[in-house]
Every structure is written in C-alpha cells, then in structure tokens.
Structure 1
C-alpha cells in the first residue's frame, strides 16, 4: 500500500521539467505550500497532481478520493480514509473508483514514498525514491466533490524489493506498491478512453516498477512519540542495529 509520502521538497522545479511543463503553476504552488517531508495519507494532505483535464498545469488535490455519490460531510470523511489507495486491478469495477477510472485520471507527483518493514514484531520504515533523483509520477484517480478536488493513489503488485520491504504478516493480500508510471507513458495514462482496447492498454500501465531504478533506505520512525514530524531530518538515513534485512 502507500500511506506515507514526501512531496514538494528538494525537487521544486524538477516537477515541471520532469513532465515537460511550464513552471508557472508549480511556482505558484511552491509560494504558498510548505514542503511535505513526510505526511501520512490519513491526515489528508494536499498533493501536487497533473490531471487528464488540465495536463499542462500542476494543481493541489486532497489525498483521499470522495466519490460523487457521497451525500454528506460525515460520510465523506469516513470514505476518504478508505480511498487513499485504489487497487489497479479493480478500478473499473469498484463503485468508489470506476467513474474516475473512466474519465478522471491523474499523475500524483511525489519526491518519494515510505513503506514499513516488519521484523521480530517491530516495524521499520523505509524511504523509497528514484536513483536518478527525479520526481516519481504515481498513477492516480481524482474526483470533485462539493467543489473540493480529491485524489487516490493506485497500487499494483509489488516488485521483489518492495515485497521484501512491505512484508506485513497480517496482510490479507499479496504485497503491494504504488503504481509508478514511467516518464515515456505519462501521456498514455492521461489520454481519453474511447474503447475496450484503450482500457486494456491503460491497465497494462499498472505494473510493478523496475526496482533497478529505485533506491531505498531506513529512516526514523514515522509514528509514535519518537516521530520527528514534518522536518527535513525525517529523510535522513537511520541505522537500526537490531534489524537484519538480509534474511
């Protein structure tokens, strides 16, 4: 799954350059948005996205998709905690996501993401980012509910290293990772769906990402009393002497 990210930090204008977009919209976001060194999805931060409707500008959408059929604020809060992620295999079937899958897709642009590794009844967070220090474009869905734009991050089957990191023994499903869209397929992800062939080609983009393009390392705890908070130090590597990650 993907419940923790870092965004809008040291990458700044690389976001725009990475996607070949004008820098004006990202400049405006950076002026009024503090960096996200770490945020949990359950705090529903605003994340930078590029949508199929406005592919030439960056916008900030709240993390936690609220479907259009939600009737009241209380229900919207409840459902937004269950729609931080969307399983790629079922986005065209699930009521919360199928409308967005057909006509409201986006790229969620992050610096990196975090996953927790379970070892001897303790959890150890890893930070995952691109080896080449480029931003990561995650497959996303979006929706507008009562004038508020919201989004969800799509997940897929984990590659070998992500399966090793994200090894929750209590998980009832196979190991997952966020669906990273390679740079050469960004436009394909955002293009309209005209027929079943388009739908099939879109689903083929949701696949485990090549781990050779990623780097990963342990960081300080993201929960509890020792949590450092949304600070640059949260991205610093940390050694846990008791952790054996080789076995």
Structure 2
C-alpha cells in the first residue's frame, strides 16, 4: 500500500463521477499498478484548479523545488503522510492549509504476512468505481504539481493482525469534496476530517504477489 495505487478508470467515468473535465485528456492513462517507487503521475483535483481534473506527480517535493524527484525520494520518501507528520514537518503543514487536493484512484494495495508468505490484495469499490483520496500538493519551479496521499489508521473493515501496515489512505467522500478543496474551509474543519475519517465499504480482491 505504501508504494502502489491503482487507477483503471476511463476518461468518461472519471469526468462523469466527479462532474469535471480532464484538463489534459490526451495524456491521461489508466494504470492497474501505479508504482510510487517510479516517477509517475496520477489524476488530481487541486485547490488551485478545482474546475478540472489535472495531473500530479506522486511523491511531494518542497514548494518551488528545483531539484530531481528521484534524488529527493531517496532522501525522504513522500508518497504518503499522516496527521503527525503534517503537524510537525515544514514540507507538509503549509500545504495542508493552502494546497489540498483529491487524488483520484480506483484502488490501493495492501499486504498480509500469512504462513511466512506475503499476500497481496487490491482494495477497490464495487465495480471498480473511482474514488478520491485526501492529498496535499506543492508546485515545482517549472509549474508541475507533486502530491502526497494522507493516511489514516486502518478501519475495522480492513483490519487484520496479519496486516503489514496499520494505516490506509484516507478517503474523501464526494459529500466533502467542496469542503476539502475550498479556501474558505477553516483548518480546524480540515483536521477534523483527517482525525475522524468517513467509513465506507471496500471490496478486497486477492491477487498474485
């Protein structure tokens, strides 16, 4: 989960579900496995451009950063963050207040250790319906957005003593889409969404590891 997401949504399904057009439809690509250890872009809706589905590079870099994504990720992997990191790290805390985004996916991966073997699971909605993860982003000197998924504690529906992780990406339901992206939303309300995540159902699919 820490390093892989999934997005098999078509252009049409993304646009219909979120009610927004793709700003760059010609470069949009679905991808069953988005490997965070490689420099890959993912669809996002940002506070800066809330009327379009745009693209962001997964793995946030500092605001106005000029350096190389891969070199920075070797120093600090920033694919995911959490409430504690955001509160205590300059890389994230300003972004939470000023640069929130929705990261659009159809699934994420989880891993369990069973009989000394790692089992891989793809966590999706029914019919692989797209959904939004809480994210923050920064803008590089060249104008590209880089983003990080906000994690929360794993919910009871997915929890297992065999899990290799005790956290999962934080989903933002469509009900809270405008609140998450609005500049008018008080920071306390944003922190409340992170602290008390909305519980929704997922489908767990075992796949070959």
Q: Is TM (by shorter chain) over 0.5?
A: yes
Matches within 5 A, 1:166-177: 167-168=163-164, 175-177=166-168
Please name the residue that 1:219 is paired with: 207
Picking from 171, 186, 191, the partner of 1:180 is: 171
Bigger mean CA deviation after superposition, 36-45 or 11-20? 11-20
Q: Which runs of 4+ in 1 moved over 6 A?
A: none
Picking from 25, 34, 37, the partner of 1:39 is: 34
Q: Find the aligned partners of 2:15 and 2:4 in 1 and give their Cα distance.
A: 22
Matches within 5 A, 1:1-247: 2-7=2-7, 9-21=8-20, 23-25=21-23, 28-29=24-25, 31-68=26-63, 72-73=67-68, 75-79=71-75, 82-131=77-126, 133-147=128-142, 148-164=144-160, 167-168=163-164, 175-192=166-183, 198-206=186-194, 207-211=196-200, 213-221=201-209
Preserved contact between residue 116 and residue 165 of structure 1 (Cα < 8 Å): no
Preserved contact between residue 48 and residue 99 of structure 2 (Cα < 8 Å): yes
Structure 1 residue ranges without an equivalent (≥5): 222-247
Cα 1:177–1:215 change in 2 (3 A) is: same
Q: Find the aligned partners of 2:107 and 2:28 in 1 and give their Cα distance.
A: 17
CA deviation after TM superposition for structure 1 residue 45, in Å: 1.1
Q: Find the aligned partners of 2:96 and 2:64 in 1 and give their Cα distance.
A: 15
Please name the residue that 1:237 is paired with: none
Cα 1:186–1:146 change in 2 (3 A) is: same
Size of the aligned set, in residue pairs, is 206
Q: Find the aligned partners of 1:201 and 1:89 in 2 and give their Cα distance.
A: 16
Q: Find the aligned partners of 1:193 and 1:78 in 2 and give their Cα distance.
A: 36
Larger Rg: 1
Q: Secondary structure of 2:158's match?
A: helix
Preserved contact between residue 118 and residue 167 of structure 1 (Cα < 8 Å): yes
Structure 2 residue ranges without an equivalent (≥5): none
Q: Find the aligned partners of 2:66 and 2:29 in 1 and give their Cα distance.
A: 32
Q: Find the aligned partners of 2:17 and 2:63 in 1 and give their Cα distance.
A: 32
Q: Find the aligned partners of 2:10 and 2:160 in 1 and give their Cα distance.
A: 27
**Superposition RMSD in Å:** 2.3
CA deviation after TM superposition for structure 1 residue 124, in Å: 0.8
Cα 1:121–1:193 change in 2 (3 A) is: farther
